[in-house]
Amino acid sequence: MVKSIQDQILRELDKLSSQKQRVALYFVRALVGEAPIGVSADELMDLAGSLDPEDARQMRDAVEAGCEQVAPDSWNIELP
């Protein structure tokens, strides 16, 4: 018997911690255009520790590689 997509999603969500379920909720809300703008400090703290060290390292490396470069000629600022 083929389960509906909704049933499959619910089954997978049941396997997640409450922190990861909150992340999934934000993702789904973003997909339907109802994502909140900003979150409270308490909600943000609920996510603390949910990123594993390897993912954190990869994110840090990507930021360092892409954001620590300055191209002064690419700035087009017009002053009055």
Closest CA to 22 of 8, 39, 3: 39
* pLDDT tens column, 22-64: 889 888 888 888 766 777 788 888 888 888 889 989 988 888 8
Distance CA 48, CA 28 (A): 20
Burial of 22 per CB tally in 10 Å (0-12, 13-18, 19+): middle
Domain edges within the chain? 5-67
pTM equals 0.42
Within 13 Å and on the Cβ side, how many CA atoms surround 69?
A: 7
- Amino acid type, 76: N
